[in-house]
Amino acid sequence: MHVEQLELTQFRNIPQLELTCPEELHLFVGPNAQGKTNILESLYVLAIGKSHRTRSHKELIRWEEPAARIRARVNREGRSHRLDIRLTPQGKKVSRNGVEQRRLSEYIGSLTAVLFAPEDLAIVKGSPQVRRRFLDMEIGQVSPSYVYHLTRYNKLILQRNTILKDISKNGKEQEMLLEVLDEQLIQSAVHLWIKRRGFVDVLTRWAQDIHSGITDGKEALSIHYQPSGEMDAGQEEEALQEQFRQTLQNLRKQEIQRGSTLVGPHRDDLRLAANGVDIHTYGSQGQQRTAALSLKLAEIELIHQETGTYPILLLDDVLSELDDSRKTHLLEAIRGKVQTFVTITGLEGIDQGTLDRARMYRVRQGTVTELR
């Protein structure tokens, strides 16, 4: 996977940008709050269909402008594709090779990307919601069916919670509707559980090897997927469906009292440990950074394994957060196989070999100037 050309129009603080991207490594240099992160964000939106920084399309559009646009030419296995996303306050239009994609699940995979930013430490030390979002974003890039069922599941949960809150007023009628809704919910929930289980199994194998390399074999990383409500995601599909069906029935009175769905993929979590010690609770900052780096490098290899091509890598002000050892391991792990876009405030701490093979740009107040 290789971005050959990127064009931005009225995106964030960038009025207009045209980049040709032949090189493997691109460095965007400049002070904070000048627009460096916006460039990486545009590539992430192009890949995922939404921003990692905001849920509002309006925030992606330059102040007092009616719309923003992201266009790119992407080379995948020797074939060029044109990707185009138009953003308005009301929504977005996504097209590939001039054909509008009605469903995001049809578009996902056109460009795959792995983003690594300082806030990704939250995957290790943050809330379960952050880890669920991590799973959703990464699995969605390699599985259109996951995107479909995730969207469906989230809509069903909202509908179900509304029914649970109203059921005391219209008991029998609402309970019948709940039975129908639950069967749809069970189908999508089980699909998500099975996909997550498979993803975590593969991710764990890659991350363990990478983590061992970074720590010189001193630490063994383990990743455990924890479905909510004592659900056993290791079962076959039919058995998992029946367990979830029974669990929903057992929790019915409690859920009606609370007006909320108490079990399902929306309450799952990931637990990470180094040498058996929970990193979330007891890990040092160095261990948390190493675990986060291991996960991100594992993502790259997993996407390559699933799709046959490497994703692009977006490093947003992350090199300054890593010590020399972790920085070297990261740059060597991606060298020669992953097109990488990096934001940095200065060139200090970047080795000469990396600088020699990079195309560099200065970013100031939304204007990008090529240095060499």
pLDDT tens readout for residues 149-188 = 999 999 999 999 999 998 877 777 788 899 999 999 999 9
Q: Of the residues 278, 307, 336, which one is the last residue of a structural domain?
A: 307
**pLDDT confidence bin for 105, thresholds 50/70/90:** confident
- Binding site per annotation, positions for ATP: 30-37
- Mean pLDDT value across the chain: 92
Do 77 and 90 sit in the same domain of this protein? Answer: yes
**Mean pLDDT, rounded, for 30-49:** 95
Q: What's residue 164's pLDDT? A: 93
**Same domain, yes or no, for 129 and 53?**
no
Assess contact for 71 and 83: CB atoms under 8 A: yes
Average pLDDT over residues 23-47: 94
Q: Per-residue pLDDT averaged across 310-336, rounded?
A: 86
The pLDDT, as a whole number, for residue 183 is 97
Q: Would the pLDDT of 73 be above 80? A: yes
Instruction: Note whether 107 and 170 are same-domain residues.
Output: no
Provide mean pLDDT across the span 317-336: 83
Per the annotation, where are the binding residues?
30-37
Residues 139 and 278 in one domain: yes
CATH number at residue 363: 3.40.50.300
How do residues 117-144 score in pLDDT, each as one tens digit? 888 888 999 999 999 999 999 999 999 9
Question: What is the pLDDT at residue 342?
Answer: 94
Which pLDDT value is given to residue 104? Answer: 83
Mean pLDDT value across residues 322-339: 85
Residue 354 clears pLDDT 90, i.e. is over it: no
140 and 270 housed in the same domain = yes
Q: Residue 18 pLDDT > 90, yes or no?
A: yes
Give the β-pairing of 25-29 and 14-20: unpaired
Domain shared by 293 and 325, yes or no: no
Instruction: Say if residue 297 is in the same domain as residue 247.
Output: yes
Residues 371 and 272 in one domain: no
Same domain? For 368 and 236 the reply is no
Q: Does 262 lie in the same domain as 161? A: yes
pLDDT of residue 175: 84
User: What is the span of the domain harbouring residue 10?
Assistant: 1-112+309-372
Averaged over 348-372, what is the pLDDT? Answer: 88
| Together in a domain, 302 and 321 | no
Q: Kindly indicate the confidence band of residue 266, based on its pLDDT and cuts at 50, 70 and 90.
A: very high
Cβ atoms of 283 and 274 closer than 8 Å: yes
pLDDT for residue 281 is more than 90: yes
Q: Which residues contact 292 (CB under 8 A, 6 or more apart)?
A: 116, 120, 121, 123, 124
Report the range of poorest mean pLDDT among 69-78, 205-214, 329-338: 329-338
Domain closes at, from 251, 276, 307: 307
Residue 346's pLDDT band (cuts 50, 70, 90)? confident
Count of domains observed in the chain: 2
Residue-wise pLDDT tens digits, 216-226: 899 999 999 99
**Domain identity same for 81 and 166:** no
- Nearest C-alpha neighbor of 82 from the set 65, 99, 104: 99
pLDDT of residue 35: 94
- Answer yes or no: is pLDDT of 52 > 90: no
Give the residue from 307, 324, 346 where a domain finishes: 307
CA distances from 281 to 119, 126, 177, 221, 287 (A): 17, 10, 42, 15, 11
Detail the DSSP E strand segments found in the chain: 2-11, 14-20, 25-29, 68-76, 79-88, 91-96, 99-100, 113-116, 221-226, 269-274, 277-278, 312-316, 340-344, 358-364, 367-370
Instruction: Please tell me the predicted confidence (pLDDT) of residue 227.
Output: 96
The CATH number for 208's domain is: 1.20.1050.90
For residue 350, pLDDT over 90 is answered with no
